[in-house]
């Protein structure tokens, strides 16, 4: 049932031309080269080490692999991480 409601919301918001990351609480990931990542609409840090970070979001975990990770900025809905990034994956 929840899936039908979500699909209905998506159709309406697409017709209204709203940004889906804001209206559907989806994560927005901004990658600058391989040195900086900003994730908006996150729901907290699940795991943090210098070579792997796992961020919670509405769609599940966002896993970032790499080296020398450091948190540059963190707020209620936004986080910026620096380091050398090798990959981003999602888990449900």
CA angle 76, 88, 77 (to 5 degrees): 10
User: In the prediction, which pLDDT does 17 show?
Assistant: 65
| pLDDT confidence bin for 73, thresholds 50/70/90 | very high
Binning pLDDT at 50, 70 and 90, where does residue 1 land? low
For residue 89, give the nearest of 68, 67, 64 by alpha carbon: 64
Full-model pTM = 0.75
Best CA proximity match to 67, nearest among 56, 83, 55: 83
- Determine the pLDDT at residue 71: 96
What is the longest distance spanned by two Cα atoms in the chain?
43
DSSP classification of residue 9: H
Mean per-residue pLDDT over the chain, rounded: 87
Half-sphere exposure of 8 (CA within 13 A, CB side): 5
Q: Give the tens place of pLDDT for each residue, 18-63.
A: 565 555 678 999 999 999 999 999 999 999 999 999 999 989 999 9
Q: Tell me how far CA of residue 44 lies from CA of 10, 34, 57, in angstroms.
A: 24, 22, 8
Parallel/antiparallel/unpaired status of strands 45-49 and 36-40: unpaired
Residue 74 has pLDDT above 90, yes or no: yes
* pLDDT for the residue 5: 74
Domains identified in the chain and CATH numbers: 25-91 (2.60.40.2000)
């Amino acid at each position: 049932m929840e899936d039908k409601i979500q699909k209905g919301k998506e159709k309406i918001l697409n017709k209204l031309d709203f940004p889906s990351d804001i209206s559907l609480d989806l994560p927005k990931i901004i990658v600058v080269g391989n040195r900086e990542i900003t994730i908006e609409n996150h729901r907290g840090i699940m795991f943090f080490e210098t070579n792997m970070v796992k961020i919670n979001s509405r769609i599940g975990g966002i896993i970032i692999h790499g080296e020398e990770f450091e948190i540059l900025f963190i707020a209620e809905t936004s986080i910026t991480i620096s380091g050398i990034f090798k990959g981003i994956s999602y888990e449900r």
